[in-house]
Structure 1
Amino acid sequence: MSKRQRHTLDVSKRPFADIAARLRWHRVEFEGLQQAEYAAKAGIGRTALSNWETGDKRVSIDAAMRLRLVYGTSLDWLYCGDAESLPASLRRAWRDAEHPDQGRDWLRPPP
């Protein structure tokens, strides 16, 4: 599988696809970093980051806290999609990237 194929891999059927999509967007679109750079800056393993970005594994609380400290993400956004909890510049970028409806789904009661 080529790098490009891996980058465009459809993770929508994975258990943690929503978290994977937000994390990948933050790394690629907002920070513009390769996995190795992003992971090293946050002090996490590249393999762990790869597993999170494929949606196969959920980001641990400890790792989410590292991402919050280093990159300014929030746990509410990472786990639940609540963009209101992000710093203003990151929140604007997320909404400008055609995610205006994400961020309140977790507040809706189940059907």
Structure 2
Amino acid sequence: MSDTNAQPQYSEIGRRLAAIRQAESQMSQKEWAEKHSFGVTQYNNWEKGVRRIAVDEAERLCNLYGLSLDFIYRGNISGVSDKIKNLL
């Protein structure tokens, strides 16, 4: 029997992705996904922590917004803007 109250496996990564989106725009998940050529459902699953963002897509966000993979995947906030930190 599965635990229906369990947190999604990648919830912390999803929380960081949401912080990036909210710090860098006023866009909805749908608008953000479309802007970055991500599937809307795919991006929603990333933010919810149901799925983990693939490295190539994470690298694209890193290059666009001056972030590191260490921040997205591991939560290392070195070099992250205060705007993003405040949303975490």
The percent identity for this pair of structures is 31
Equivalent of 1:65, from 59, 67, 83?
Answer: 59
User: What amino acid is aligned across from residue 76 of structure 2 in structure 1?
Assistant: D
Equivalent of 1:80, from 39, 64, 74?
Answer: 74
Q: CA RMSD in A?
A: 2.0
- CA 1:42 to 1:70, structure 2 compared with 1: closer, same or farther past 3 Å? farther
Larger radius of gyration: 1
Equivalent of 1:14, from 4, 8, 12?
Answer: 8
- CA 1:18 to 1:52, structure 2 compared with 1: closer, same or farther past 3 Å? same
Structure 1 ranges of 4+ moved more than 3 A? none
TM (normalized to structure 1)? 0.64
Distance 2:72 2:54 in 1: 11
Unaligned runs of 5+ in 1: 1-11, 100-111
How far residue 55 of structure 1 moved from its aligned partner, in angstroms, is 0.5
Q: What number of residue pairs does the alignment pair up?
A: 83
TM (normalized to structure 2)? 0.78
Distance 2:64 2:33 in 1: 10
